[in-house]
Structure 1
Amino acid sequence: MAGQVIEGGRNFVGQLNNKWNSFSLKEYGRFFESFRSLKPNRTKSYEGLLLCIAQGDKDRPEVAPSVSPPKDGLLLIANVWFSAYPVEYGHIFLVPSAINQLSCYWDKMMFILATKVASEVNNAAFRVSFDSGTSVESDHLFFQACYFANPLPVESASTVAVYDGKATSDIIVSEMLEYPLKALVFTSNNLKTLVNVVSEICCSLHDNATAYSLLISNNGTKVFLFPQVKNLVTGCFLSAWECSGYFVYHTKSEFDSASETEISKRMASASLQDGAFEDLKHLCCSIANDLVN
């Protein structure tokens, strides 16, 4: 793989992975199907299964050896299945425990666990993402995570607060400024409040058939929300990494011709119209206000 910072002021990142085409959707489906039928006494036979994260009774995290994953746990699976697919170092999938079957659409508890993983790793380079309506297995909930050595372009973009609840809730809702893709940022040191607000908004977006992606960063204290419309040319949505300004190219010609203008147009084509985005901002502020008061 090769990488480069795209010329321009936004510092978009392009990665060349010339094996990208070897990643087949059929294989991807089999990957998740294998964990769907995971047996409690056979977890050690599945390459890539690192551990299972679950909510415990104690305040501090601890390692508890077990032959079977907890019923409501989150499996951390290293991406060793497709050597061509890892986005960056430490690429893992975070998948709801197969004992409880793969959760459909949205599971607030799994979002809590994914955010806690980002917090417990305690490394600013570690980011967690979620794509709704954009993934191959769009009817199943799973997160992805990996390390990015440098700040992602979206993390360096300017923002302006549209809701400031510092006095009562410690949550701030901000709007991205001069970024090609309209996005909102939720910031709080109170994990419970952050999860409650973002979860409620995600449910509303789902009910309104609006696709979106999430990026959890800053040790679990910041969540970027990227609402999207389908690209009329490609018929696809952007992934969370692409929304964040990190693009993977599977041919050298695409990689060599990548430009800030081309990437900006691609991102803008997935962005909500002004009216729809204004409605979303009002909804987010209303939800934040209702849940914290």
Structure 2
Amino acid sequence: MVSATEFKGEYSVSSKNPPPDQSEGVKTHLYRIGAEHGDDTPKSFACADQDSPSLLDTLILSQWEDFAWKGHLGYDVTACNLKVIEGGWNFVVQLNDKWNSCFFKEYDKFLGPVECSKPNCMDNYNELLLCIAQGDNDTHEVVPSTTPPNDGLLLIANAYPVEYGHIFLVPSATNQLSLFWDKRMFNLITRIASGVNSASFRVFFDSCASTMPDHMFFQACYFANPLPVESASTVAIYDGKATSGIHVYEIIDYPMKALVFTSNNLNMLSSVVSEVSLTLHGNNTAHSLLISNNGTKVFLFPQVKNLATGCCLSALECGGYFVYHTEFDFDRASEAEISNRMASVALQDGAFENLKRMCFAVADDHVR
């Protein structure tokens, strides 16, 4: 059961919950995002005091820390050994012998309706921190201890985190599309990133790992410092019309090819990136996404599977953050070794040029 948490600030707290003896099943906090208006720029969701944590940031971290305090984490991620690889890109490597990228398979119970028939089943959902859904009111609303709506987004603690506050973001049953995900879900994800309003908060998506039959999920966590790719040089390759505010950049002098989409218009950014991702999915092109800068910047990493391993890199690895399971590999990690791993999944020049043209066409279509 999610702990009772007291929240203070300028927001609405609903008291419309049914009494405990009238409703059985899973209960969690529900955060309703305020209704969209106009172009939905991030300033609509930022907290008034930029030096203070936002309500959503406080809610996520308080629930995650409560989960950790109760002893549900597999280890203390803050105690894991970290180092920066000397060189031009300052790759970050972590030594963690317990981490496994497939741990979400243990939480397949969240890929269907979140429900139970007996009150004592609550212990089976300790990882469920809260639910986020689109609200109808202009203001944000927190509904304590309520049944998650079927059209919400579940925030689930990763018991084997890579960084502080590591969570899965899983669309509820009615938001799970039969083939992939759409603008609506990606828009909710970017609005969450905007609502958290923290430069440390990043959201990730991996098309290879995050999609199962009829299901998908995102991940997010907090980083104390920018990821290496965020410090890489870029060159502008698309300047959208004034009505769209969409800009596309190409990462240069980096071991793998990548694009960056930026806009203060979250609706437009969501529409363009979601359609690009859907097109790549339809073409069976593996890709990863990194969402940063309060939801206004999206990195796209198209990939081919490594011929030797048959695998792709995760969004974290594309961003320059690698986890090693043994001290031997951790000590031997080098810029050359990591660069070769990244280059092994990079698109060829011709395929990358075709991808850029597709992105330009999608962006143009959304401003007509």
For 1:266 and 1:242, how far apart are their aligned partners in 2?
9
Q: What secondary structure does 2:94 align onto?
A: strand
Structure of greater Rg: 2
The residue number in structure 2 matching 1:117 is 192
Query: After the TM superposition, which of the residue ranges 118-127 and 61-70 deviates more from structure 2?
Result: 61-70
Q: Deviations over 1:78-127 (max 9, x none)?
A: 113xxxx31100000000114x3744532332211111111100001000
| Equivalent residue number for residue 197 of structure 1 | 272
Q: Which position in structure 2 is the counterpart of 1:159?
A: 234
Q: Secondary structure at the match of 1:15?
A: strand
Distance change >3 Å, CA 147–CA 24, structure 1 → 2: closer
Q: Report the secondary structure of 1:71's partner residue.
A: coil
Pair 1:176-2:251 in alignment: yes
- CA, structure 1 residues 65+40, in 2 after alignment: closer, same or farther (shift >3 Å)? farther
Query: Which one of the candidate residues 136, 139, 143 is aligned to 1:60?
Result: 139
3-state secondary structure, aligned to 1:65: strand
Q: Distance in 2 between matches of 1:129 and 1:138?
A: 19
Query: When the two structures are superposed, what TM-score results if normalisation uses the length of structure 1?
Result: 0.91
| SS of aligned partner of 2:134 | coil
* Correspondence for 1:38: 114
Q: CA deviation at 1:265?
A: 0.7
User: What residue is the counterpart of 2:219 in the other structure?
Assistant: 144
Matched, 1:271 2:346: yes
* Matched length: 285
CA contact (8 A) 2:204 2:316 kept: yes
SS of corresponding position for 1:216: strand
Q: Is 2:86 the partner of 1:7?
A: yes
Contact 1:161 1:172 in 2 (8 A): yes
1:135 Cα deviation from its structure 2 partner:
4.3
- The letter of the residue matching 1:29 is K
Aligned partner of 1:292 in structure 2 is 367
Candidates 170, 180, 205, aligned match of 1:95: 170
For residues 192 and 81 of structure 2, the distance between their equivalents in structure 1, rounded to whole angstroms, comes to 29
Distance 1:202 1:223, change over 3 A: same
Amino acid at match of 1:187: T
Counterpart residue identity of residue 87, structure 1: V
RMSD: 2.0
Determine if contact 1:228/1:272 at 8 Å carries over to the other structure.
yes
- Deviation (angstroms), 1:34: 5.0
- Can you list the C-alpha shifts for 1:152-191, whole angstroms capped at 9, x where unaligned? 0010011111110152311101111111110000000000
Are 2:304 and 1:229 equivalent residues in the alignment? yes
Q: Is the 8 A contact 1:121 1:219 kept in 2?
A: yes
User: Cα distance 1:166–1:11, how it changes in 2: closer, same or farther (>3 A)?
Assistant: farther
The SS at the match of 1:189 is coil
| Amino acid across the alignment from 1:62 | E
- Encode CA deviations 1:130-160: one digit per residue, 9 max, x unaligned: 0002348475210000001000001001111
CA distance in 1, matches of 2:205, 2:273: 12
Paired position in structure 1 for 2:29: none
Distance verdict in 2 for CA 1:178–1:74, change over 3 Å: same
Answer whether contact 2:83 2:94 (CA < 8 A) is retained: yes
What code does the residue aligned with 1:77 have?
A: I
Structure 1 residues 165 and 28, CA gap change in structure 2 (3 angstroms):
closer
Residue segments in structure 1 that go unaligned for 5+ positions in a row: none
CA contact (8 A) 1:213 1:240 kept: yes
Structure-to-structure mapping, 1:71-82, within 5 angstroms: 71-80=150-159
Residues 243, 138 of structure 1: alpha-carbon distance in 2 compared, 3 angstrom cutoff: farther
Per-residue CA deviation, residues 177-216 of structure 1 (Å, 9 max, x unaligned), is 1111100000000000000000110111011110100000
Aligned CA distance change for structure 1 residues 58 and 136 (closer, same or farther; 3 Å): closer
Residue 219 (str. 1) matches residue 298 (str. 2): no
Unaligned runs of 5+ in 2: 1-79
Q: Cα distance, 1:275 vs. partner?
A: 0.2
